[in-house]
């Protein structure tokens, strides 16, 4: 998987720019990192995040606003709590992307 390292570096650079109170979708991050079809690779990059303090992987969500895994704390519940605390708007269990999606 060493061939993915340059792409992961781009993904981490994109995700590190997502501001508090905003989210980006996996597909959006993939596009901004240079390969719009690599959204699953973005998920793998988030799973293997080397520095959660500077790369806010909890701010990456599905294109439908749903949570798709989180490895810290209590998983998705922790992700939802972190996003809520940052001011991200939810409707039920989905982020309201019209309000909270980063335009990066």
What residues act catalytically?
57
Polymer length of the chain: 104
Cβ proximity of 11 and 33 under 8 Å: yes
**DSSP assigned state of 80:** H
C-alpha to C-alpha distances, 36 to 41, 83, 85, 87, 94, nearest whole angstrom: 10, 24, 29, 27, 22
Beta bridge partners of 23: 101
């Amino acid at each position: 998987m060493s061939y993915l390292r340059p792409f992961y570096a781009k993904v981490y650079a994109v995700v590190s720019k997502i501001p508090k109170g905003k989210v980006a979708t996996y597909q959006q991050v993939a596009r901004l990192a240079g390969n719009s079809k690599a959204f699953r690779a973005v998920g793998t990059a988030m799973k293997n995040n080397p520095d959660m303090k500077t790369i806010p992987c909890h701010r990456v969500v599905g294109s439908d606003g749903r949570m798709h895994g989180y490895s810290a704390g209590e998983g998705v519940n922790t992700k939802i709590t972190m996003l809520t605390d940052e001011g991200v708007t939810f409707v039920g269990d989905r982020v309201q992307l019209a309000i909270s999606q980063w335009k990066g």
